[in-house]
Amino acid sequence: MKKYKVSIQGMTCIGCEEHVTTALKNIGAKDIKTSYHQGKTEFDLANTVEIKNIKKAIEQTNYQIEKIEEISSQPVLALKNGKDYDFLIIGSGSAAFSAAIKATEYGARVGMVERDTIGGTCVNIGCVPSKTLIRAGSINQLVKENPFNGLKTTAGEVDLKALVKQKDELVDKLRQQKYIDLIDEYGFDLIEGEAKFIADNAIEVNGEKLTAKRFLIATGATSFIPEIPGIEHVDYLTSTTLLELEEVPERLTVIGSGYIGLELGQLFHNLGAEVTLVQRSKQLLKDYDPEVSAAVEKALHEQGIQVITGINYDHIVQDGDIKKLTLTKNGIQKMIESDQVLVATGRSPNTDALNLSAASVDVGENYEILMNEYGQTSNDRIYTAGDVTLGPQFVYVAAYEGKIAADNAIGGLNKQIDLSAVPGVIFTNPGVGTVGLTEEQAKDIGIDVKTSILDLDNVPRALANHDTTGLIKLVVNTQNQQIVGVHIVAENAGEVIYAGTLAVKFGLTIEDLTDTMAPYLTMVEGLKLATLGYNNDISKLSCCAG
C-alpha cells in the first residue's frame, strides 16, 4: 500500500467531502481522511493503482486537483501480546466516557487507559463530593442564621466524619452506575496502568504496546501549587484532601479565591470554621464583571468571611500544627495563622507522563495540550478534550468536547467545537451564573453595548426569601438589541443561567425576552425584569408588569 495526500480546490461542505471519499473508495482507497476545511484528502491505495486513476476519480466529482503527493506511511509497530484499536482513549473521566460511548455507536473498537480511579475528577474528587458537602454546609448555616422572625432554629456541633462518609457513599454509587457499569454496557476495553506514547500510532502500558488508528487524550488536570517560599515544608491541603478531613478546623486560610477557593472556603465557614480568603489580584473573580465581583465580595463580608485581595505572598512556615502565612498588602506586611491551609490557585494539566514528543503533540506554555477547532492536536490522528487543554474547567464542556472528538475521529464529521455560549456556575451563597461576554470583553472586540443591571431588591422572589444580596446584569448589543452576556449573583443562579444561555446562544433580543411570560415569584423572573429595566425604571412598574 502507498499513502497519498491530494490538495483539492472547490470543496465547501461536508457533502463535498463525502463525494470525494466515495470516489476514492470506488478505486479501492482505504483509511480515507478528507477535510473541506483544509482542502485535502489523505488515503492508502494499493501499489498497483496508478496516479491517473486518482486524478480521474476526483475530477469526476467536479473538484479541481492542485497537487498529488505520495507520503510515507507511519509503520505499524509489531505487537507483543498487544492489541490494535480504532480509538484508544487515555483517561476515564467525562470526556473519555462521552467519546467512548459515541465511538462504539459508530462500531469502533475502543480501548480506555486509566492509571488511577475510574471516573476522573468530577465524580470522584470534584463536582459530586464538593456539591453534596456544600449543600450540607448551606443547611447548617441557614439553621444557625435563618432570616424569618418567629422561627427559632439552632445548630449543633457538626459531625464532619459522618458527612464525609455519606459523601463517599454517594461518590461510590455514582462512579459504579455512571462509569464502571457502562464499560460492559457499551463493550469497550479498560486497560489499567499509565500510558506513554512511543510513536504517533502506539502507546505503552505496563510494558505492553497498544496501537490505534486514532487517539484521544483526556487526562484532566490536578491542583496547581504556586511557588510560595517555604510551601514545600508545609502540610497544606488541596481541593481533594480538604474534602477528606474528618474534623472542621478552627481556622482555615484559603490561598486563591477562584471558584474552587470560594466554594470550599464558604463551605467550611458554614460548617463552623473561621475562614480567610487571600489572593494576588485586586478584584475578586478577576475575569468576571466588576459588579459581579463586588456583589460576591459584599456577601462574603456580610457572612463573616475575611477577604484580602491585592497581596503578595512573602513566605509560609509551619510551627507545630499551626501554619503561618506572611503576605504584603499596600507595602504593609501581615501574618495570618491558621490550623489548615487550602491551596486553590488553579489547575495544572496532566501531561508530564505521556511522552508527547514521541507523538509530535504540541503543548502550550503551561504544558496544556493545544488543539484546533475540531479537537485535533498538532498530530491529526490524536485528539484531545477536557481539562487537559486548560479550556473551561467544567464537566459538561469536557463531555461535549469528547463527543465531538469521537464524531470527528471515528465518524469523520469535521464538527467544530463551539464554546461561545458556555455557562459557568459558582456554587456559593449567593450563587454566581455567567454566560457570554462581559461588558469589557464585548467592548474589546468592538461591540457597542448597553447594560441593564437589576439589584435583587427588585425581584419579588428575593424579597419573599428575605435574601436580596445580588444582581442580574445583561450586556446588550445596541446595534441589534441581541443579548450577548448574562451575569447573575443570586440564590439559584445556576438554575437561572440556563435561560440566559439559550438567549446568548440563539441570539435572542431584549424584545424576545420581554415578550415572553415568566412565572411570578421565581428567580428566573428576575431575568425578564432585567430586560424590562433595559428601557424602563423597574421601580415604577407593578408586580408582573410586562
Task: Assign 306 to helix, strand or coil.
Answer: strand
Rounded to whole angstroms, how far apart are CA atoms 388 and 99?
15
Is 387 annotated among the ligand-binding residues? yes
Tell me if residue 400 is catalytic. no
Which phi and psi angles does 225 have, rounded to 5°?
-105, 120
Rounded to whole angstroms, how far apart are CA atoms 192 and 340?
34
Tell me if residue 543 is catalytic. yes
What angle (nearest 5°) sits at the alpha carbon of residue 85, between those of residues 371 and 36? 45
Tell me if residue 13 is catalytic. yes
Is 161 annotated among the ligand-binding residues? no
Q: Which three cell numbers stand for residue 245?
A: 478531613
What angle (nearest 5°) sits at the alpha carbon of residue 166, between those of residues 165 and 172? 90
Is 411 annotated among the ligand-binding residues? no
CB atoms closer than 10 angstroms to residue 117? 14
Is 257 annotated among the ligand-binding residues? yes
Residue position matching grid coordinates 449543600: 135
Tell me if residue 367 is catalytic. no
Rounded to whole angstroms, how far apart are CA atoms 384 and 397?
12
Closest C-alpha to 399, from 97, 146, 114: 97
Tell me if residue 335 is catalytic. no
Rounded to whole angstroms, how far apart are CA atoms 86 and 291?
49
Task: Assign 17 to helix, strand or coil.
Answer: helix
Active-site annotation holder among 186, 367, 498, 544: 544
Tell me if residue 16 is catalytic. yes
CA 206 to chain centre: 30
CB atoms closer than 10 angstroms to residue 418? 11
Is 131 annotated among the ligand-binding residues? yes
Active-site annotation holder among 4, 85, 122, 288: 122
Residue position matching grid coordinates 459558582: 426
Rounded to whole angstroms, how far apart are CA atoms 298 and 472?
15
The H or E element that residue 451 is part of is: strand 449-455
Closest C-alpha to 375, from 329, 321, 422, 412: 412
Please report, in angstroms and rounded to a whole number, the separation of the first and last CA atoms in the chain.
Answer: 70
Classify residue 538 by its DSSP letter: G
Active-site annotation holder among 36, 63, 288, 374: 63
Closest C-alpha to 490, from 472, 510, 477, 463: 472
Is 50 annotated among the ligand-binding residues? no
Tell me if residue 534 is catalytic. no
Active-site annotation holder among 127, 367, 396, 498: 127
Task: Assign 167 to helix, strand or coil.
Answer: helix
Is 261 annotated among the ligand-binding residues? yes
Is 256 annotated among the ligand-binding residues? yes
Binding-site residue ranges for FAD:
131, 346, 387
Binding-site residue ranges:
131, 256-263, 346, 387
Q: Which residues are annotated as catalytic?
A: 11, 13, 16, 63, 122, 127, 543-544
Binding-site residue ranges for NAD(+):
256-263
